Chains A and B, each alone.
Chain A
Amino acid sequence: MQDEPTPIELTRTVADFLRNDIAPLISGHQAFKLRVAVNILDLVTRQLTREEGSDAAELERLRALLGMDGSVTDLNRALAERIAKGEVDLATPGLSEHLWQTTMDKLAVDQPNYASYKRELSRNGG
């Protein structure tokens, strides 16, 4: 077991430092690059926060949908192949719900401010 502070706490403190102390000091292209850098650290923090839970839930859904076991990567590959072959489609019970949930979990990490995501989130009742 590794010591603390945790990776989430560490990425967050670096992002805060760059945002609050460095951003006001620079301008132009460097300021643009810094914004991208801070966005990356924020994304990593969100992923570290959420990935374990969302991957476990995704794996459960994939097992039920495919009736087989494996890693989340293997089962995603298997699902992609079955869709490509036409063995599974939107008429398959659970597929649409699975793809929606998996995609919403990705957007929560990649781009929580993306307008389509926010719209769908409000549809879920928050």
Chain B
Amino acid sequence: MIEAELSRSAQRWCPGATGVAGVARLSGGASQETWRFDIAHPDGAIGAILRRSPQGYGAAPTRAAGLAAEAQLMQLAYEAGVPSPRVMHVLVPDDDLGTGFIMQRVEGETIARKILRDDEFAAARPHLARQIGGVLAGLHRLPLDKLPELRHMTAAKEIGDFERDYRSLDWPKPVFELALRWLRDRDPGPAAETTLVHGDFRNGNLIIGADGVRAVLDWELAHLGDPMEDLGWVCVNSWRFGEIDKPVGGFGSREDLFAGYEAAGRKVDPLRVKFWEVMGTLRWGIMCGGMMQRFREGPDHSMERAMIGRRASEAEIDLLRLLAPRGS
């Protein structure tokens, strides 16, 4: 249990804090954990979230920006008015909690299927696609000179990475080969403008309330690149959770997304968005292959991981629907 360490830590940086309560592990794998807890305070309890890598799990996977960068990005977003939790504390060695940060807890729902079906969100749903456009515009406008060190990605580099990951699986899939060719043939070249890209902006990584988007989570894949990547990824069919005629996370139309983005003063390039949607669909398929491989070879021999491996075929059908649609 980490209650004693959290209590000592909170009392150091949160004036008036007397301890912590309700410490509970939420999710995460071996290398990254999420915990919820309340900071006991004379003015009332403060809801908090800890994101950390425990001691001994320092090295981040190659694509991840790292928890320190994640904290910095969330704080920048918060200050710029992009819905994001306020970062309260970045862990230091004295905390004895590993590396990571503590942020204010934002109440709301992250489970995509609940957001798409529960009555509580019925009034918010029709507005979410447009609202997401506005949120992405704000995110893409975060000043480059204030960002932490991030990898710089282009479509060509991304295709190269996918191809390497896919070939390393030794898992011949004609549909993935077709998608790789399609992407290479249609690579639109470097973006006119390089911005911050969230990298995993989708239904499931947003906290939604009855009033709409309350926070953008999971910034670990943030990088510099083509802002249209985020608009394409949020439309990938797997993040529509069954509502396949509403491309934007199962909430609404591309037109609404684009209108929200442009109303916030940024331009959309629909062809690039489509390109990144194909890219994102292939990316998800290759991620499923990675899950299969880790299930086989890695320490996490879980049934959930095995079953995600069998979801590669969903990426295949969605790629065919994009690249070789059948007549209606």
Q: Are B304 and A89 in contact (CB under 8 A)?
A: no
Q: A107-B314, A110-B314 are in contact. Are A120 and B326 (CB under 8 A)?
A: yes
Tell me, in angstroms, the Cα distance from A40 to B173 when the chains sit together: 22
What string of 1s and 0s marks CB contacts (under 8 Å) between A69-105 and chain B?
Answer: 0000000110111011010011000001001101110
Tell me, in angstroms, the Cα distance from A80 to B173 when the chains sit together: 6
Residue among B176, B181, B317, B326 facing the most chain A CB atoms (10 A cut-off): B317
Residues on B with C-beta less than 8 A from A80 are 172-174, 176-177
A111 at the interface (CB under 8 A from B): yes
Closest to A105 in B: B313
Q: Are A84 and B173 in contact (CB under 8 A)?
A: no
Residues on A with C-beta less than 8 A from B317 are 103-104, 107, 114, 116-117, 120
A43 at the interface (CB under 8 A from B): yes
A26 at the interface (CB under 8 A from B): no
Q: Are B324 and A40 in contact (CB under 8 A)?
A: no
Residues on A with C-beta less than 8 A from B173 are 76, 80
B150 at the interface (CB under 8 A from A): no
Residues on B with C-beta less than 8 A from A83 are 174, 177-178, 181
Number of A-B contacts (CB under 8 A): 86
Tell me, in angstroms, the Cα distance from A84 to B173 when the chains sit together: 10
B320 at the interface (CB under 8 A from A): yes
CB distance from B182 to the nearest CB of A (A): 9
A14 at the interface (CB under 8 A from B): no
Residues on A with C-beta less than 8 A from B176 are 80
CB distance from A75 to the nearest CB of B (A): 10
Q: A36-B307, A114-B314 are in contact. Are A89 and B174 (CB under 8 A)?
A: no
Q: A89-B181, A90-B323 are in contact. Are A115 and B242 (CB under 8 A)?
A: yes
Tell me, in angstroms, the Cα distance from A40 to B303 when the chains sit together: 8
What string of 1s and 0s marks CB contacts (under 8 Å) between B175-199 and chain A?
Answer: 1111011000000000000000000
A39 at the interface (CB under 8 A from B): yes
Q: Is the interface of B mostly helix, strand, loop or mixed?
A: helix
A33 at the interface (CB under 8 A from B): yes
Residues on B with C-beta less than 8 A from A117 are 314, 317
CB distance from A33 to the nearest CB of B (A): 7
Tell me, in angstroms, the Cα distance from A21 to B176 when the chains sit together: 41
Q: A36-B307, A84-B177 are in contact. Are A103 and B324 (CB under 8 A)?
A: no
Q: Are A90 and B178 in contact (CB under 8 A)?
A: yes
Q: A76-B172, A86-B181, A89-B178 are in contact. Are A116 and B237 (CB under 8 A)?
A: yes
B117 at the interface (CB under 8 A from A): no
Residues on B with C-beta less than 8 A from A19 are none
Our pick among B172, B316, B328 for the contact of A103 (Cβ within 8 Å) is: B316
Residues on B with C-beta less than 8 A from A76 are 172-174
CB distance from A38 to the nearest CB of B (A): 10
Q: Are B324 and A115 in contact (CB under 8 A)?
A: no
Tell me, in angstroms, the Cα distance from A104 to B314 when the chains sit together: 10
Q: Are A99 and B178 in contact (CB under 8 A)?
A: yes
Q: Are A100 and B320 in contact (CB under 8 A)?
A: yes
B41 at the interface (CB under 8 A from A): no
A106 at the interface (CB under 8 A from B): yes
Residues on A with C-beta less than 8 A from B311 are 110-111
B318 at the interface (CB under 8 A from A): yes
Residues on A with C-beta less than 8 A from B318 are 116
Q: Are A100 and B313 in contact (CB under 8 A)?
A: no
Tell me, in angstroms, the Cα distance from A80 to B172 when the chains sit together: 6
Residues of A within 8 A of B (CB): 33, 36-37, 39-40, 43, 76-77, 79-81, 83-84, 86, 89-90, 96, 99-100, 102-104, 106-107, 110-111, 114-117, 119-120, 123
Could you write out 22 A-B pairs with CB less than 8 Å apart? A33-B303, A76-B173, A76-B174, A80-B176, A83-B174, A99-B175, A99-B320, A102-B174, A103-B175, A103-B313, A103-B316, A104-B317, A106-B316, A110-B314, A111-B313, A111-B314, A114-B314, A116-B314, A120-B317, A120-B321, A120-B326, A123-B326
